[in-house]
Structure 1
Amino acid sequence: MNHSVKSTIPIHTDTDAHSDTYSETYFDALYSDNTDPWEYQTRWYEKRKRDMCLAVLPQAQYGNAIELGCGNGVFSELLARRCQDLVSIDGNNNAVQLAKQRLEGLSHVKVIQGIIPSSLLTLKDTLLSAYPLSEESLSDDDRLANNPPFDLIVISEILYYLSPKDIDKVIAWIKQNLAINGTLICCHWRYPIDGFDMTGETVHQRLHQAFNGSANESNAEHQPAFTHQSKLIDTDFLLDIWQHTSASIAEQENLV
């Protein structure tokens, strides 16, 4: 398996339209005759990484969650067991269809196609288009489900395909859309990726600058800081978790 490409989100830049077309074509080719091009279902490496991500989540259950870059939905299926409502996004149509098939029957999971970061800015409209339910038929809880703020934001193996400017847009979106006490989990491959300047190392450095630095920031609403709850440095990948709270997990459970 070639780990030089890890996601099915098409690259979206502000300056290079050709890279968009190439990426979509490339990922279409990967899924054209293979339902699991990265062997998520068969490789121990992938299962181990998923298990580690799930194990370090600060909460046992989450209300409203979103997963950026769901691929064929293997990790989505596991996340669904920990979430009351889950939105999973991928940029590749074949991957989205595979994820929908895998998650069929889980009414609390919605799978949509969208390019990051632009799809995040039109998320509500995209969800209503993909899952059309009249506003009159929805309860108050239904209207809130799958819409910001999110209690859990999952970002795995996608940010190094974005430009630094688009990564900053994702970071800004997270700060606006992660609920108080919510969790952000980010996991990325550490090795260089052919054709891309960003790596897992540079992506997580950027995330640390954005969220660790917020501990000393204040604002008009007196929002709590982002606390860096967990950091795992594996030989092959980086895993970081932040919570939108100033309390540690032990403090949240009144252990200290």
Structure 2
Amino acid sequence: MVSAMDPGYFESMYAESADPWGFDDRWYERRKYALTLAALPRPHYRRAFEPGCSIGVLTAQLAERCDRVVATDVVPRALASARDRMQREGLADRVELGRASLLDPWPAGAFDLVVLSEVLYYLTPADLGTVLARAVDSLEEGGSLVAVHWQHPVPEYPQTGRAVHDSVAALDGLQRVGSYRDADFHLDVYTRGATPSVAAAEGLS
């Protein structure tokens, strides 16, 4: 087993299809993105990081809620599609796209939102620990961390979605503020440090 899945695995997927996971077309994906965005405790964020952005479907939706989104992927073809999407949707000035893997150095500076969507199960347990430590370190106090993963086992993946969510739940310094799980995917939202609930923040409780 390699430390993280070889970029060639992903490049071969995009060589066969411009959208190999059906991010643009499947109701499953549209519903998952809607639930992810609805679970964010803040209406707006200053600076978000989304590694593994693929063709930028979720990236564009995050950009509607953020001043700036930094998004990365390992496949040039996917990044080109994401870049075209940002231009079409008038979001290019709010999204910074770059080629990088989860194990490459993270972008400099702090984030108030980190979105780990369908990426952590590509890591071995040791590398997962490294990446999660980076995620927490890069998150501002009161910032949000979102983890969303497919729950069915995939033989070629180093870990399952269930296993990586257990690892996120065990992190120090994070407080879970929301969760959704069905037969297919698991969504957890955390904040760094204690923060008021959405209702409390608006003086409703």
TM-score normalised to the size of structure 2?
A: 0.92
SS in 2 for 1:174: helix
Residue 202 (structure 2) aligns with: 253
- 1:143-188 Cα offsets, whole Å, 9 max, x none, are xxxxx21010000011011011111111111221101111001100
The structure that is strand-richer by fraction is: 2
8 Å CA contact 1:229–1:248 kept in 2: the answer is no
Residue segments in structure 1 that go unaligned for 5+ positions in a row = 1-10, 14-18, 125-147, 215-224
Residue 94 (structure 1) aligns with: 77
Residue segments in structure 2 that go unaligned for 5+ positions in a row = none
Report the Cα distance in structure 2 between the residues aligned to 1:228 and 1:26, rounded to whole angstroms: 33
Residue 6 (structure 1) aligns with: none
- 2:16 paired with 1:30: no
1:92-171 mapped onto 2 (5 Å cutoff): 92-104=75-87, 105=90, 106-120=92-106, 123-124=107-108, 148-171=109-132
1:43 aligns with one of 26, 36, 56: 26
8 Å CA contact 2:76–2:99 kept in 1: the answer is yes
- 1:49-102 Cα offsets, whole Å, 9 max, x none, are 000001111011100111011010011111110000010111111111111111
TM-score normalised to the size of structure 1?
A: 0.74
Decide which structure has the larger Cα Rg and report it: 1
Report the Cα distance in structure 1 between the residues aligned to 2:116 and 2:52, rounded to whole angstroms: 7
1:223-234 mapped onto 2 (5 Å cutoff): 225-234=173-182
- 1:116-143 Cα offsets, whole Å, 9 max, x none, are 12231xx24xxxxxxxxxxxxxxxxxxx
8 Å CA contact 2:141–2:193 kept in 1: the answer is yes
Report the Cα distance in structure 2 between the residues aligned to 1:33 and 1:236, rounded to whole angstroms: 25
CA-based RMSD of the aligned residues comes to: 1.7
Report the Cα distance in structure 2 between the residues aligned to 1:29 and 1:117, rounded to whole angstroms: 20
Deviation at 1:29, TM superposition (A): 1.8
Residue 238 (structure 1) aligns with: 186
Range with greater deviation from structure 2 (110-119 or 83-92): 110-119
Report the Cα distance in structure 1 between the residues aligned to 2:7 and 2:48, rounded to whole angstroms: 26
Paired AA for residue 80 in structure 2: Q
Report the Cα distance in structure 1 between the residues aligned to 2:79 and 2:21, rounded to whole angstroms: 15
SS in 1 for 2:190: strand
8 Å CA contact 1:227–1:246 kept in 2: the answer is yes
Deviation at 1:243, TM superposition (A): 0.9
8 Å CA contact 2:152–2:160 kept in 1: the answer is yes
